[in-house]
Amino acid sequence: MPDVTSYPDGAPCWADLNAPDLESARRFYGAALGWEFQDKGPEYGHYTMCLWKGKPVAALMPPPPSAEGLTPAWNVYLRTSDVDATIAAVEAGGGKIAMGPHDVPAAGRLAFAFDPQGASFGLWQPEGHEGAALYGEPGAMCWNEIYTTAGGAADAFYAGLFDYKQIQIGDGTNFDYTTWTPPGAGREACGRLRATDPAHELAAGGGQPFWSVYFAVAKVDETAEQIAALGGSVLHGPFDSPYGRLCVVRDPSGAHFSVMTLARR
């Protein structure tokens, strides 16, 4: 996919990692995904952009002084053109606002929320920073999905925020997976998987539903081996899917993500 200049409302547009050890995270992701880094400085709490081909594709975020014990995890942000209106929809649908809204100077407007089942997600209204500048190529984000035990409830809640077109691609029982397409978008933006074995599939979220991030890589088997050699863990795979070959992994701090070599279309 070419460079991304904007995202439709409801599309995952950005991801950042709660990184308790910023230098360790830089070493790991630099080696595993080939990223370079740009520290935004103390005025932004050393928020660190992850760069691929010189363009921002994700970020590392050291925990603020009041939250040093925050669990390492990748955070997924859904794009909205009106974060205040989306916050109202979150609360009307039974979700909760954890933080915000607040302005990030010259970048955008931010909020953080929990859905009714407890999955956390960000909301991002761009005002200078649109999100990941690349998507769907090695080194960049290529997919996002929510793992939950309440598939129908999750579908209904998030459709109430962004009016997604939701299509069941499994049998709805043994494999219950819906893809979500924002209004006016030319492709699916994300998906929802109902966990049939919560003890296994939700382990990465500490037993709670969670949003997962996928990063594209050129050769997923080689990346999986490298992740293990760098102190990370391979949780599942690599294995083939209709969309490409993928592997579920964990970084040395315990943060869960997936890597994927996309199938040619």
Question: What integer pLDDT is reported at residue 208 of this predicted model?
Answer: 85
Q: Which residues contact 97 (CB under 8 A, 6 or more apart)?
A: 87, 90, 91, 111, 112, 113
How far is Cα 73 from Cα 16, in angstroms, rounded to an integer?
8
Mean pLDDT by runs of 10 across the 265 residues of the chain is 84 97 97 97 93 97 74 96 98 96 94 96 96 97 96 97 96 94 93 78 69 97 98 95 95 96 86
How far is Cα 9 from Cα 187, in angstroms, rounded to an integer?
13
The model's pLDDT over 233-246, given as tens digits with 9 standing for 90+, comes to 999 999 999 999 99
How far is Cα 114 from Cα 264, in angstroms, rounded to an integer?
35
Q: Which residues contact 175 (CB under 8 A, 6 or more apart)?
A: none
What is the value of pTM for the model shown? 0.94
Helices marked H in 42-163: 83-92, 151-162
- Structure-block tokens of residue 137: 């190529």
Question: What integer pLDDT is reported at residue 256 of this predicted model?
Answer: 94
Question: What integer pLDDT is reported at residue 69 of this predicted model?
Answer: 66
Question: What integer pLDDT is reported at residue 264 of this predicted model?
Answer: 80
